[in-house]
Amino acid sequence: RRSQELHNRQRLLGFDLIRSNPNICGYNLTSLVDCPGAFGEGILTNLRTWKRGAVDAMQDGWAPVRWCLFVNPLHNYLGRKTRLEAVLANDGALSPGEYPARIRIFGPTGIAWEREAPVRVPEPSAGEDGPLAVPVLLGHVLLEGPVGEYEFVATLERGGDAAGGRLAFHVSDPN
C-alpha cells in the first residue's frame, strides 16, 4: 500500500512537471500493467487489478484545469528560504480573463503565509489556442516556525474548479 501511495504521488509530480510547461501539449501513459522489467510503472497490477488511488491520480492529473505546485526543497529548515511556484494548467476550460486566486501555506498552527495572486489567461492570437499553462506565482518565503508538516495550497476563488492545489512539505529545526 505504501508503495502504491508513493507511486501515485510520483505520478502526480510527473503531471505537475508536464502540465506546468506551456511547450508540452501531450502526455502518453507508457504502461498500463506492471509487466516484467517495468519496475511498477503500470496503473494495474500483474493480476490486472487497479492499484489503489491510481484512477484518482489520473483524474486529477488530466483535469481540464489543474494547479501544478512546486516547493523547493520539500524538506527545509527554519529560517531558510523556501522556493514556491504555482502554475495553472488550462486545457481550454478557462476563457480568457482574470480569475482571483489565493495562495496559502498552512502549518501546525494554521495559516503561516498567504497571498492573493490573480490568474491572467490571455486572449490567444487569431487562429491560435490559448496557453496550456499560466504562471501564477514564483518566489521565496521564509518560514519561522514551528517545525512540522506544512501544506502549500492554491485555490481559484471564482471562475473555475481546479484540481490539484495541495502539496505537503516539512520544516525542521536545524539544530
Q: What is the pLDDT of residues 146-162, one digit of tens each?
A: 999 999 999 999 998 99
Cell 484545469 locates to: 65
In the prediction, which pLDDT does 46 show? Answer: 77
Identity (one letter) of the amino acid at 36? P
- The predicted structure's pLDDT at residue 149: 97
What pTM does this model have? Answer: 0.88
Question: For residue 133, what are the contacts with CB-CB under 8 A and spacing of at least 6?
Answer: 19, 20, 21, 22, 68, 87, 88, 89, 90
| 105 Cβ contact list (under 8 Å, min separation 6) | 84, 111, 112, 113, 114, 141, 143, 150, 151, 152, 153
The pLDDT of 84-105, averaged and rounded, is: 96
The letter for the amino acid at 49 is T
Q: What is the pLDDT of residue 8?
A: 84
Higher pLDDT: 141 or 25? It is 141
Q: Determine the pLDDT at residue 37.
A: 62
